[in-house]
Amino acid sequence: MTKNETLFLRAQRHIPGGVNSPVRAFGSVGGTPRFMVRGEGPYVWDADGKRYIDYVGSWGPLILGHAHPAVIEAVERAARNGLSFGAPTEAEIDLADLLCEMLPSIEQVRLVSSGTEATMSAIRLARGFTGRNKLVKFEGCYHGHADSLLVKAGSGLLTFGNPSSAGVPDAVASDTLVLPYNDVPALEALFAANGSEIAAIIVEPVAGNMNLVQAAPEFICAMRQLTQQHGALLIYDEVMTGFRVGLSCAQGLHGITPDLTTLGKVIGGGMPLAAFGGRADIMAKLAPLGPVYQAGTLSGNPVAVAAGLATLHEISKPGFFEGLSNKTRQLTDGFNAIGQELHIPLCAQSVGGMFGIYFADQIPYNYADVMQNDRRRFNAFFHGMLNAGIYLAPSAFEAGFVSASHERAVIEETLSICSVVLATQYHSK
C-alpha cells in the first residue's frame, strides 16, 4: 500500500469519510486522496514524496503560491506576539481600512473565520435590515454550508449529486428561492410575483462552484435593477472571486456596486479569515450597534490578519494581475489548442487567475450546460494528469486556480503533459 492509502484508511477511523471537507475525498473522481505534506510556490508534495504542479491552491487562497516568504514571515512575526486575544487589535483596523480602500462598495466591514460565516451573516443582516425573509440564489452556486444556502447548491453537493442537503428544515428551505443562473426572464417573473417579500439576492458574480460559468451582462444588470426597484439587497458573494479575478474583484469587472459583499480565501492568504461588508447604513444594524447579532471567538485573529495583509500587499503591486491573468490565459489557450489539435470536445476559459476546463464542445452558460459535460472523460483526465504530476480539482464541478508563482515554464510543462495524457486517452483505442 502507498502511504496515501495507509493514511486514508487511518483517517477514516475517526474522521467521517477521512476528510474534513467532502470535496477532498475524491468521491466523484474515485481513487485515493493525496495527503499533502509540503507546498512551495506552484508545487505540493504528497505523503509518498510525489511532487505536483498545484492548480487547486487550497481552493483559491494561495494566489501567491505556497509558503510565500512575505506571508510566512508575517505569520511568524505575529505568532511570536501571541496567537489570539479575544480583544481588538490594531492589525484588524489596518485590514478593515485596506479592504474599504480597495473596494469602494464596502464602507464598513466585519472579519470572520470562514466564507460560510461571511455569507450566513450577510444573509441574516439582509433579512434584519429589510424585515423580509425570502432569499434568491441560483442553481449550481455554492455559498458555504449555512442551512439557507444548501438548496440546489454547487461544489461538493453537486460533486456528490445531492444539490440539497439533508437536515435542512423545509421551513428554512422554503424561504430560499432558486433560479437558473443567467436566466433574466425567470428573475423578472420572480420579482414581479414576490418582489415585496425578497430580502436579497446572493450570487457568485463569476460562478466557480459548478465549474467556471460567467454571468452575462444582462443578468448582472437585471439583478442590480430588480433589487433596487423592489427594495431588496444585492449580495455579491466574492469569497472565490474576491482579489482573484482582479484587484477590484468581480464587482469592479462588472461595474456594479453591490449592497453587501462577502470575501474569503485570498484575503486570508491560506489562514482562516473571511469578511462581509458594504453600505454603512446596513452594517449599522449589526450588534453591538443594532439588533442583528453576529459574533466569533477568533474573528479578526491577529495571525490570520497578518497573513491577509501580507497577501493583499503583494497582489497590490503594479502588474500583478496583468501577469497572473496572462499566465492563466496561456493555460486555457493551451487547453483549447490541444482540444482542436486532437479533435476532441475540450474547451476552457479564464477570468483573472481562475479557470474552467470542460469536456464539452462549448463553454457552459448555466447549470444545465455544465451537466452536459462528459464526467467520465473528466475523471479519466483528472487521474491521467494526477499520475503525471498535475494536481487539478478532484471534481468536474470546480474551478481551477493559477498562482503568481506558476512561471510560464510551469504552464508550458503542464500543457505538454496534458497533450500526452489526452492523446493517449483519446487515441489509444
Annotated catalytic residues are 142, 237, 265
Q: Is 46 in the site for ligand KE4 (CB under 6 A)?
A: no
Q: Is 251 in the site for ligand KE4 (CB under 6 A)?
A: no
Strand runs (DSSP E) across 60-193, as ranges? 108-112, 134-138, 176-179
- End-to-end CA, the chain: 30
Contacts of 35 (CB under 8 A, 6+ apart): 3, 4, 7, 8, 11, 46, 47
**Closest CB to ligand KE4 among 298 and 337?**
298
Closest residue to ligand KE4 using C-beta atoms: 115
Alpha helices in 183-301 (DSSP H): 184-194, 217-230, 249-254, 280-283
Minimum distance from residue 28 beta carbon to ligand KE4 (Å): 13
Question: Is 27 strand, coil or helix?
Answer: coil
Q: Is 240 in the site for ligand KE4 (CB under 6 A)?
A: yes
- Neighbouring CB atoms inside 10 A of 174's CB total 11
Q: Is 176 in the site for ligand KE4 (CB under 6 A)?
A: no
Residue 53's identity, in one-letter code, is I
Residue 429 CA to residue 97 CA, distance in Å, equals 59
**Closest CB to ligand KE4 among 278 and 334?**
278
Q: Is 214 in the site for ligand KE4 (CB under 6 A)?
A: no
Among the candidate windows 4-12, 111-119, 368-376, 409-417, which touches ligand KE4 by CB under 6 A? 111-119
**Closest CB to ligand KE4 among 8 and 59?**
59
**In the set 140, 163, 264, 308, which binds ligand KE4 (CB under 6 A)?**
264
Q: Is 116 in the site for ligand KE4 (CB under 6 A)?
A: yes
| Closest CA relative to residue 94, chosen from 307, 286, 250 | 307
**In the set 57, 65, 128, 144, which binds ligand KE4 (CB under 6 A)?**
144
- Give the total of residues touching ligand KE4 (CB under 6 A): 21
Residue 141 CA to residue 135 CA, distance in Å, equals 13
Question: Is 238 strand, coil or helix?
Answer: strand
Q: Is 139 in the site for ligand KE4 (CB under 6 A)?
A: no
Q: 258 to each of 145, 212, 221, 280, how far by Cα in Å?
A: 22, 21, 11, 13
Q: 144 to each of 116, 118, 156, 354, how far by Cα in Å?
A: 4, 9, 10, 19
**In the set 237, 258, 299, 394, which binds ligand KE4 (CB under 6 A)?**
237
Minimum distance from residue 220 beta carbon to ligand KE4 (Å): 16
Among the candidate windows 71-79, 98-106, 136-144, 373-381, which touches ligand KE4 by CB under 6 A? 136-144
Q: Is 23 in the site for ligand KE4 (CB under 6 A)?
A: yes
Among the candidate windows 4-12, 113-121, 169-177, 180-188, which touches ligand KE4 by CB under 6 A? 113-121
φ/ψ (deg, to 5) at 334: -65, -45
Q: Is 142 in the site for ligand KE4 (CB under 6 A)?
A: yes
Classify residue 200 by burial, with Cβ atoms within 10 Å: 0-12, 13-18, 19+.
buried
Cell numbers for 80, please give them.
511570536
Which residues are near ligand KE4 by CB under 6 A?
21, 23, 59, 114-116, 119, 142-144, 155-156, 204, 208-209, 237, 239-240, 264, 274, 398
